[in-house]
Structures are given as C-alpha cells and as structure tokens.
C-alpha cells in the first residue's frame, strides 16, 4: 500500500474524530448554559448554531458584568482611599488642637463615637 493510499484511508477517520470532538464540545456548552438560558426556545430542538450563539451571548453578558463589577470596585476603592485620607487628616488636626488648647490631664478622653 502506498503512502497516498494510506493517507486517503485515514482522512475519513480523522474527519469523523474531528466531528465527534465538535459535537462533544457543543453538548458540553449546552449543559453549561443552564436551564434558565435554554428556556428561550423551549419547544424547538436547539441546533448547534443556536447553542453557539447562546454561548456567545452568555459570555458577552458575563464579560459586561465583570467590567461593571471592576468599575464599581475601583470606585469603592477610590472612595475608601479618599475617606481614609480625610480621616487621617481629621485625626491629626484634632489631636494637634487638643494638645495646643488643653492639657491632657483636664480634658475628657477623645472618643470617636
């Protein structure tokens, strides 16, 4: 048997294995999408293209949520950093005024509440 004939016999087998991998991956995507996402087309059998489109939509939504959460977290961190800085400055100015104006023996202890 020549090399060419051997390759011709292997080609259909390789193609069959490739299709099986694709089908298996699509089934995995379908199971990962979850029932609430698959309810969009309850009566019709989902085609492979439908599953792929739903997966793209789902991943896009996740990506947008992730971006919104990162923006919110950055905003909270900035607020917290600004608040910490303001508190530190307020504590320093309050402590400075107490030591200048009053002797610690005669003043009530400072409490933040």
Name the class of domain 12-80. Answer: few secondary structures
Give me the half-sphere count of Cα atoms (radius 13 Å) on the Cβ side of residue 99: 6
Amino acid 78: pLDDT: 85
Amino acid 108: pLDDT: 59
The beta-carbon contacts of 91-99 under 8 Å, at least 24 apart in sequence, are: none
CB 52 within 8 A of CB 29: yes
Whole-angstrom distance between the N-terminal and C-terminal Cα of the chain? 92
Amino acid 71: pLDDT: 94
Amino acid 19: pLDDT: 97
Q: Where are the domains of the chain?
A: 12-80
The whole-angstrom separation of Cα 45 and Cα 53 is: 14
Q: What is the pLDDT along the chain (113 residues), one digit of tens a residue?
A: 677 777 777 888 999 999 999 999 999 999 898 877 767 666 678 899 999 999 999 899 999 999 999 999 999 988 888 877 776 666 666 565 555 555 445 555 555 55
Amino acid 45: pLDDT: 80
Amino acid 96: pLDDT: 58
Chain centroid to CA 66: how far?
A: 4
Give the predicted TM-score (pTM) of the model: 0.59
């Amino acid at each position: 048997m020549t090399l060419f004939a051997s390759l011709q016999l292997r080609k259909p087998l390789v193609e069959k294995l490739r299709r099986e991998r694709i089908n298996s991956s699509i089934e995995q995507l379908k199971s990962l999408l979850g029932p609430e996402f698959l309810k969009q087309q309850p009566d019709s059998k989902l085609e492979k293209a439908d599953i792929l489109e739903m997966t793209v939509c789902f991943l896009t939504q996740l990506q947008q949520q992730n971006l919104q959460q990162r923006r919110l977290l950055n905003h909270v961190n900035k607020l917290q950093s600004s608040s910490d800085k303001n508190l530190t400055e307020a504590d320093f100015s309050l402590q400075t005024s107490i030591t200048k104006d009053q002797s610690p023996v005669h003043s009530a202890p400072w409490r933040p509440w």
